Amino acid sequence: MMDSLPLLVAATLNSGTVLAFAALGLLINERAGIVNLGAEGIMLVAAVAGFATVVHTGSSWLGFAAGALAGAALAAAFGVLVIWLNTNQYATGLALSLFGVGFSAFVGIRYTQEKLGERPNFEIPGLADVPFLGPALFRQHPMVYVAIALTAAIAWFLYRSRSGLVLRAVGESPESAHALGYPVRRIRLAAVLFGGALCGISGAYISTVYTPLWVEGMIAGKGWIALALTTFATWRPARVLLGAYLFGGVTMLQFHLQGEGVQVPSQFLTMLPYLATIVVLVLISRNASFIRINMPASIGKPFFPG
Amino acid sequence: MTRISKRSFVHLAGWGAVAALAAVAGCSKKEETTTTTTTAAPASAPVAAASAAPPAASAPLKVAFAYVGPVGDGGWTFAHDNARKAVEKHFGDKVETSFVEKVPEAADAERVFRDMAGQGNKLIFGTTFGYMEPMLKVAADLKDVKFEHATGYKQADNMRTYDSRTYEGAYMAGVIAGGMTKTNTLGVVGSIPIPEVIRNINSFTMGAQSVNPKVKTKVVWVNEWFNPPKETEAAQSLINGGADVLMQNTDSSAVLQTAGKAGKYAFGWDSDMTAYAPNAHLASSIINWAPYYINAVQDALDGTWKGGSGSWWGVKEGAIDIVSISDKVPADLKAKVDSVKAGLKDGTFVIWKGPITSNEGKEVLAAGTNADDKFLGGVNFFVKGVEGKVPGGEKK
């Protein structure tokens, strides 16, 4: 058990990173007052875009770029629909999700038999050989560390920067922000594009690093877990990251326990993230002031200037 | 002013709704095309086709295949589709084959079988266990269509079953695994705890024990046939637990690729998977469905096809093989695999031969007896050397 513990930590970080990118993107979305239920579809399209790019160019960094671009492009379509045409955010998001499932399967047909081949492992020289901590923390894909840095950057942006304050104002009260002369719709679109790009990076991470292959539907619900995660974390970046590791850890622990001979029904653990989210929702809903403090007030509501 | 902007909002919202609906419609339309025509086969169509039988000698026999996964899975479904292509090649214009991929193991399968019959297919193959009940139901209604069901156990006058002895491949892979492991710990990613899969895990372990009695096997279940991220996570946790040679009874190459990333060994399953991770790949235990499919189509063409029976082909009939053995495997181990293969071919070697004890210490097969197919079909215990319990295995 002691020698497998650092490896369990490493696997948890890896699994959590997938969720962290998407959930951080959705957090920015929701802080600006937009809920994008299309995350699953965006991640699927980005996964095939990223995979195809790596197949053709061999560069995993271009793969992430392609994933981010594909994610932002889909998010742009979503943004125009819900921000300018004021369509219902939930219905449009669901439509985008369903569209993404079908569209990614369609464009991905020829990539289902492609292989990326064996890829080198990453490690931080020196630190990787520290006992226990090395294998646990310092032999990860660079994106794992990028996710941690990104969380810090987003926390700084939201709470310490002027533009972050404006973004939160748009999410709390778009009317007031509008009255002060801020371009509410353009700010919301920027948040949606950023969110789409991060979901895209998460999708590309899954198809090029986490499980380096493309098969349709391979995101397998991780987009929905990321959506649940933003609520679970009560819209705070650091809690999003911790929640991502927690949900990632539950997934890994389930298999780890099985390997150790402990019988836990895997179906039960599959439903845990959603159950936890509902519990958190119930808990925060019991306290009206808690909701007021944490939940962006205009979330899900359309904004009509003038 | 407000009135106008409100009206223009309604207008715009309408457009948005149209766009959203178009997106949904576009998606559902796509689903329809992948499962061929949905509503184009009214109930009367098969009857009309039936009255037109028997077909003229020149008309090709129409044969249809229902697959559970995408043909590009590189594993189970890929192997079936290769065999379908072999049938086309073998019979030329005497047959006309078609397939529907990703048919769910649920009520949808029944609709797909009816569609296939409606399109004039006279011989229909269903390639996964979960099609058993839907196929049985359709077979009862459409007496003039011949049904072949893979890995099931229920039969009818116009429905028979076929399977391959995948456990023979698992045993041969086990021989290699037992010789290659340094930690004496093997790992298996199991799909769903049904006898077929449990039998493979046991056979893999017995193969390993035949060359290395110290071997133990860890098992992790993912409860799905095909979910690459889950297969990856399961494989990773086996590696974390000390396993250095992995096998999987799932349908994708994810386990092999995970082993490759971690610098461990693994096997290809169902199809040759060398290309997915050349350094980690020790060998591929493959199923060749072509001999059976060619035989079944020949029966149908000759009019000698009979339902109500089942067949179970293995190494002997050319349905199971172990291929692309890596250069990393030492020659004496290869020779051992070859002798097992030769023994299975001429019937002198039996894998499931007593005494066999379960991992709870119970003797499940007495010394000197060979397991019959009924015994093999009901394996619901782990043999000695496999760790853990079969999920739900305590009820007998």
User: Which pLDDT tens digit goes with each residue over A91-147?
Assistant: 999 999 999 999 998 999 888 778 776 666 777 888 888 888 888 888 889 999 999
CA distance A95 to chain B (A): 6
Give domain status of residue B236, yes or no: yes
CA nearest B4 in A: which residue? A306
Whether residue B12 is predicted with pLDDT greater than 90 in this model: the reply is: no
Asked if A118's CB is within 8 angstroms of B261's CB, the reply is yes
B265 vs B75, more confident: B265
Number of A–B residue contacts, CB under 8 Å = 156
Whether residue B18 is predicted with pLDDT greater than 50 in this model: the reply is: no
What per-residue confidence (pLDDT) applies to A3? Answer: 67
Give domain status of residue B50, yes or no: no
Name the residue among B13, B221, B236 with its Cβ closest to that of A266: B221
How many residues belong to chain A? 306
Q: Work out the mean pLDDT of chain B and round it to a whole number.
A: 85
Instruction: Clarify whether residues B102 and B220 are in a common domain.
Output: no
- Which pLDDT band, with edges at 50, 70 and 90, does B82 fall under? very high
Residues of B in contact with A121 (CB under 8 A): 261, 263
What per-residue confidence (pLDDT) applies to A266? Answer: 66
With contact defined as beta carbons under 8 Å apart, do A289 and B252 qualify?
Answer: no
Note the pTM of the prediction, 2 decimals: 0.79
Instruction: Clarify whether residues B181 and B83 are in a common domain.
Output: no
The total of structural domains in chain B comes to: 2
Instruction: Clarify whether residues B279 and B341 are in a common domain.
Output: yes
Name the residue among B70, B243, B391 with its Cβ closest to that of A216: B70
Residues of B in contact with A101 (CB under 8 A): 27
* Ramachandran sector of residue A10 (left: φ over 0; alpha: ψ -120 to 50; beta: rest): alpha
- Number of helices (H) and strands (E) in chain B: give both, helices first: 12, 14
Instruction: Clarify whether residues B96 and B149 are in a common domain.
Output: yes
Mode of pairing for the β-strands spanning B61-66 and B123-126 = parallel
Residues of B in contact with A87 (CB under 8 A): 13, 16-17, 19-20
CATH of the domain at B263: 3.40.50.2300
> What ipTM, to 2 d.p.?
0.77
- Which pLDDT band, with edges at 50, 70 and 90, does A60 fall under? confident
Instruction: Clarify whether residues B230 and B156 are in a common domain.
Output: no
Residues of A in contact with B187 (CB under 8 A): 259
* CATH dotted code for A5-115+123-294: 1.10.3470
SS3 state of residue A249: helix
With contact defined as beta carbons under 8 Å apart, do B260 and B266 qualify?
Answer: yes
Asked if B254's CB is within 8 angstroms of A211's CB, the reply is yes
Give domain status of residue B394, yes or no: no
The residue segments making up the domain with residue B294 are 58-165+290-313
As a whole number, mean pLDDT of residues B153-176 equals 94
Name the residue among B12, B387, B389 with its Cβ closest to that of A85: B12
Instruction: Clarify whether residues B196 and B254 are in a common domain.
Output: yes
- Which pLDDT band, with edges at 50, 70 and 90, does B292 fall under? very high
CA distance B66 to B81: 10
Instruction: Clarify whether residues B295 and B280 are in a common domain.
Output: no
Q: CA gyration radius for chain B?
A: 24
CA nearest A101 in B: which residue? B27
With contact defined as beta carbons under 8 Å apart, do A47 and A218 qualify?
Answer: yes
- Tokens 């990632």 correspond to A248
As a whole number, mean pLDDT of residues B300-315 equals 92
As a whole number, mean pLDDT of residues B222-230 equals 84
